[in-house]
Amino acid sequence: MEIFPEPEWEGLLEKLKKQKCAALLIGATDSGKSTLARYLIKRLTKENIRVSIVDSDVGQSTLGLPGTISMKVFSNERDIENFGFEKMFFVGSTNPAKKIPLMIDGSKRMVGICREKSEITFVDTTGLISGEIGRALKIGKIRAIKPEHIIAIQRHEELEHILKLTEDIHIHRLRASSMAKIRDKEDRIKYRKKRFLDYFNETKVSEFLLNQHDVGFFYNGKSLSLRDSDFKDGTIIGLNNNDDTMALGTIVEIIGDSITFKSPIESLKGVNRVLFGDLTI
């Protein structure tokens, strides 16, 4: 995808190069956050600067899968060609308003990994910015991540109710990109469906069985009993080793204390937690 930069992007690039840092990108839906992040990553890797991105846009992730927070480190331009995640954190919903604590915890965890492995870390966020919920989510992330920079992309002044609550952070106010594509609800649903279908390709998934005594089962951070659950067939689950999501799966059936599911994971070795989400396919 060819990207035509806005004039102010070059100045931003020079400012970011002056220190090892994390930069949080915030903006409304379809404001061009992901496009800007890709441009900055490409330019920085050309200068042999190791860059990483945390994609916490659980609804329209360009790096990872819907309902997850993902990360990747870019050491050179070849890494950009394979724009796929290295690690992910299962949130279990494409609606960030329903999972604010998980959104904050997952973003903090991914940024911590990226800070150790790269000089500059970009954090792409959801378009949820309005009202008390939008402000709580963004301020929560800012306080947890402690970014050195905030890149605020706005069409008018829709981010000012968030920005006025920040202190000791470099704020860069940019206009929404002229390349930003406006997508309707149907397009977003189709995009998420395609991402899941590509991941759960029938040629590479296997069927697995787990028992309540084998691993811990959790929903919204709390343990649950399979016998008392009522999750539908096709519900997406996270297969975790502690807090690290190794892969996703889809429920085939739950009978008593056992769950059968499909997943592209090669082996269940290391899986000690199964996280249930609100998504189904």
pLDDT at position 178, please?
67
Number of domains in the chain: 2
> What pLDDT, on the 0 to 100 scale, is given for residue 261?
97
Q: Which domain range does residue 24 map to?
A: 9-197
The pLDDT value recorded for residue 100 is 96
Pair 150, 266 in one domain: no
Q: Tell me the two tokens of residue 9.
A: 């992007």
Domain end: 197, 216, 232, which one? 197
Residue 27: its H or E element: strand 21-27
Q: Is residue 103 part of a domain?
A: yes
**Domain containing residue 225: CATH number:** 2.40.30.330
The reply to whether 20 and 69 lie within a common domain is: yes
In a shared domain, residues 189 and 205: no
Question: Is 193 found in the same domain as 255?
Answer: no
Q: Closest Cα to residue 29, out of 253, 197, 187?
A: 187
Question: Please, what is the Cα angle at 181 between 180 and 185, to 5 degrees?
Answer: 135
3-state SS, residue 100: helix
What is the pTM assigned to this prediction? 0.93
Triad 243, 237, 133: Cα angle to 5°: 75
Does one domain contain both 48 and 147? Answer: yes
CA distance 139 to 163: 9
Please give the chain's pLDDT, 281 residues, in tens: 567 678 888 899 999 998 899 999 999 988 989 989 999 999 999 999 999 999 999 999 999 999 999 999 999 888 888 888 999 999 999 999 999 999 999 999 999 999 999 999 999 999 999 999 999 999 999 999 999 999 999 999 999 999 999 999 999 999 987 667 778 889 999 999 999 999 998 778 999 999 999 999 999 889 999 998 999 999 999 999 999 999 999 999 999 999 999 999 999 999 999 999 999 98
